Amino acid sequence: MNDSHPTFAVVGHPNKGKSSIVATLAEDDSVIISPDPGTTRRARSFRMRIDDQVLYELIDTPGFQRPRSTLAWLRDHERDASARPAVVREFVTAHERDDRFHDECELLRPILEGAGILYVVDGAHPYGVEYEAEMEILRWTGQPRMALINLIGPGDHIEEWRRALNQYFSIVRVFDAQRADFARRLELLRAFRELGEGHAQWSTMLERAVTTLDRDRATRARRAAAEIADLLGDVLSAQERAPAPEGSDEADISRRLGEQLKTRIRQREQQQRRAVQAIYHHAALAAQEQQVDLLQEDLFSERSFAVFGMSTAQLAVTGAATGALTGGAIDLAVGGASLLIGAGVGAVLGGLGAVFGAGRLAKVQVLGTPLGGHRVIVGPITSPNLPWVLLGRALLHQRLVAERNHAVRDALVLDATAGTHLADAIDTGRRKRMAACFARIREDGGLSAGDREALIGEIVGPLPVGQASA
């Protein structure tokens, strides 16, 4: 085995999901996955790294092609049980230039060099005796071995596979490479640690890998929250400006600047999504453009506001909280002599402003210039619901990307009902604190360092973080 990190050879019959498991566990979408048998012709190594530290290594191998002939050769040259690993080595040496046994030599070589064995079968199809030759060959190597029952199709033959595999492997696990979320991947790594019993260093390194991955998960969630916070800060302080010479149609200029502002916000949202995808090693991920998909819905459409925005009641409560903060400043200024009338008035005005201002996007100003004429400024955003729409869309996107594993190669297809309750997922206290932060961004023309840290902390709350997502 590799002295610096655990190594596993992923082996089995062709087209049983070996490459999918490698892609999922290595978080590497460069692993070639194809429904065509024989796509993997050479053993290829993929290392799971965090901050340049290799946690473990997975070797994608070709599938068995002639296991019965291979086993027959091994038995013809058998001396005793203790010599079986040596006989396997002799087979590889004798046949490494023989095209008939090319795939067997490729998959056995890393095992003979010390890799642990992950034997992959498809639990959607029935067990057959033709697999016994493969399993017996792997037993001859003497290396620690685990069987993974993958599910490629709709069938369910898990129990018959489990009964057969238990006779050849010390550990048998069901692992759906296409649907395994982060918690299940950690669970499998813990099983790897059990596989390494008797190899104290290996078990220690795998335990460290689990801890490192869980800590990295929390770090990624915070980085994603920072991207979302910066998006909100940029959008809520964004402005578009243009001169309005004498005789020009200022209303037309305002409309044009409003459209420019919308385009700018749309582009900024896409930039944020790409950044989050890169955080989770999905930089090449494309979102499938279908009208039913929520994240493909235009940001400013009525449907986006209906699904991701807050209800009138929620806006009223949140707006009232923000207004109360403003009114409270009046009370402080007069030393409390107003008997908290300021807070009461601020709450009423804040709530009404949130409800009746829901359809307005941004503030419009027409200012005079020193050289004559006017300048039109559109922004900052005054719509009380737009930051919540942005936040809801960003939370849904992050959730889908964070839980998507690297064996899935189709475009990111979104559940049209997935975001319907996102506003309810943010508790009232968190909404009020965030609304107050949104108000300060508008007033100050940007996101201060203190508010950025506070906003990141509030956003991290609803995100899947570490083992808490299990």
* pLDDT at residue 339, as a whole number: 31
* pLDDT at residue 110, as a whole number: 95
Query: Cβ(445)–Cβ(237) under 8 Å?
Result: yes
User: Distance between CA 388 and CA 137 in Å, rounded?
Assistant: 58
- For 201, phi then psi, to 5°, come to -65, -40
User: Distance between CA 109 and CA 92 in Å, rounded?
Assistant: 7
Query: Cβ(357)–Cβ(384) under 8 Å?
Result: yes
Q: pLDDT digits over 203-255, tens only?
A: 888 888 889 988 999 999 999 999 999 999 999 999 999 988 878 888 899 89
* pLDDT at residue 446, as a whole number: 93
Q: pLDDT digits over 256-299, tens only?
A: 999 999 999 999 999 999 999 999 888 766 654 333 355 667 77
* pLDDT at residue 200, as a whole number: 67
Question: How far from 65 is each of 62, 108, 130, 171, 353, CA to CA, in Å?
Answer: 9, 12, 11, 25, 72
pLDDT < 50 positions in the chain: 288-292, 321-358, 414-421, 466-470
Q: Which residue's entry shows tokens 């129990």?
A: 159
User: Distance between CA 418 and CA 414 in Å, rounded?
Assistant: 8
* pLDDT at residue 3, as a whole number: 62
Note the Cα 290 to chain centre separation in Å: 21
How much is the pTM? 0.76
> How far separated are the first and last CA of the chain, in Å rounded?
31
* pLDDT at residue 382, as a whole number: 86
Identity at 64, one-letter amino acid code: F
* pLDDT at residue 24, as a whole number: 85
* pLDDT at residue 2, as a whole number: 58
